[in-house]
């Protein structure tokens, strides 16, 4: 790949709370903000840092399956709801399963490199706690190949990761692999405790290694429930230091 023709910067990021079972304020029977609420909060958080919507040239939003989880399609049309100043500006929606937010950033980078925009508002958002875990698992299964669905686990998508873990067990040994995954889990939780908006920010488990090494329960519903209750909205700004220079 050739050297990028322009410098690209990511700045003015804003994170909403990743709402889920790891948060003290989470309650499954209480109403919580919807998809558009997270988009609005994150988008406005960025605009406050960059001097308003007038400095934005384009918007990109990444999401997986809002049409089924939230009964809401055409998410790009929600970007102007962040601020009236974003009306009539080009907005696009991208999707790539777990990396949908990253694809929004990539699309923003391409616009900057193509010189069709200097500043791109990139948003990644998910609200997947709108259905029961088993139904959510069926929606997430669409990230895989549909013809494999009937031959897979009831919780198809986490089942794919379970199968991959099994392959690691066979190659490197079950005990060694589980210890490595436990360290990975511990590292994730310890980092989450440093981030006030993280889902596991309030996690107080004294022995994370013991939690991670506890024998798994055959029913994977608890795994999927965690993913289906997670909400996250990450917003970033891609900017070229041309007429409006940023460091």
Which among 146, 131, 137 is positioned nearest to 69, based on CA atoms?
131
Intra-chain end-to-end CA distance of the chain, in Å:
25
Instruction: Report the interhelical angle of 133-140 vs 221-229 (nearest 10°).
Output: 80
Quote the mean pLDDT of the chain: 86
Q: What is the DSSP letter of 20?
A: S
Which among 152, 98, 136 is positioned nearest to 226, based on CA atoms?
136
- Alpha-helix runs per DSSP H in the chain: 35-50, 66-69, 100-113, 133-140, 156-172, 174-192, 208-213, 221-229
Q: Does 224 have pLDDT greater than 80?
A: no
Question: Best-predicted range by mean pLDDT among 104-108, 128-132, 229-233?
Answer: 104-108
Q: Does 20 have pLDDT greater than 70?
A: yes
**And the tokens for 236?**
């970033």
Residue 15 forms beta bridges with which residues?
234
CB count, 10 Å around CB of 238? 28
Give how far the C-alpha of residue 13 lies from the chain's centroid of Cα atoms, to the nearest Å.
Answer: 14
Of the listed ranges 65-74, 160-169, 181-190, the one predicted with least confidence? 160-169
Of the listed ranges 23-27, 96-100, 177-181, 217-221, the one predicted with least confidence? 217-221
Q: Which residue has the higher pLDDT, 95 or 22?
A: 95
pLDDT tens-digit map of 140-153: 999 888 888 888 88
Q: Which residue has the higher pLDDT, 229 or 88?
A: 88
User: Counting beta carbons within 10 angstroms of the beta carbon of residue 125, is it exposed (0 to 12), middle (13 to 18) or buried (19 or more)?
Assistant: buried
pTM: 0.82
Enumerate residues 6+ apart whose C-beta is below 8 A from 163.
Answer: none
Q: Which domains can be identified in the chain, with CATH numbers?
A: 9-129+230-239 (3.40.47.10), 137-226 (no CATH)
Question: Best-predicted range by mean pLDDT among 162-166, 167-171, 222-226?
Answer: 167-171
pLDDT at 101: 94
Q: What are the φ and ψ backbone dihedral angles of 141, each rounded to 5 degrees?
A: -65, -20
pLDDT at 219: 53
Average pLDDT (213-221) is: 68
pLDDT tens-digit map of 96-123: 988 999 999 999 999 999 999 999 999 9
Listing from the earlier edge strand, what are the strands of the sheet with 119-127? 9-15, 231-239, 119-127, 58-62, 91-94
**And the tokens for 188?**
């994730």
pLDDT at 29: 84
As a whole-number percent, the residues of the chain with pLDDT over 90 amount to 65
């Amino acid at each position: 790949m050739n050297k990028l023709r322009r410098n690209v910067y990511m700045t003015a990021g804003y994170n909403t709370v990743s709402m889920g079972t790891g948060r003290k304020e989470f309650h499954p029977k209480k109403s919580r903000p919807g998809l558009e609420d997270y988009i609005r909060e994150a988008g406005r958080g960025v605009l406050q840092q960059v001097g308003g919507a007038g400095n934005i040239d384009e918007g990109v939003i990444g999401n997986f399956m809002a049409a089924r989880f939230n009964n809401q399609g055409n998410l790009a049309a929600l970007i102007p709801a962040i601020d009236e100043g974003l009306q009539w500006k080009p907005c696009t929606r991208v999707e790539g399963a777990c990396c949908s937010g990253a694809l929004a950033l990539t699309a923003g980078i391409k616009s900057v490199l193509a010189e069709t925009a200097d500043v791109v508002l990139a948003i990644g958002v998910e609200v997947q706690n709108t259905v029961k875990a088993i139904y959510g698992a069926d929606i997430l299964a669409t990230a895989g190949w549909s013809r494999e669905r009937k031959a897979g686990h009831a919780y198809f998508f986490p089942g794919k990761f379970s199968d991959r873990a099994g392959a690691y067990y066979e190659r490197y040994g079950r005990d060694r692999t589980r210890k490595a995954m436990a360290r990975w889990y511990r590292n994730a939780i310890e980092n989450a405790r440093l981030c006030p908006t993280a889902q596991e920010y309030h996690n107080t488990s004294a022995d994370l290694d013991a939690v991670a090494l506890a024998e798994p329960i055959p029913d994977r519903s608890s795994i999927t429930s965690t993913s289906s209750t997670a909400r996250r909205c990450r917003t970033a700004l891609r900017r070229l230091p041309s007429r409006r220079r940023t460091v």
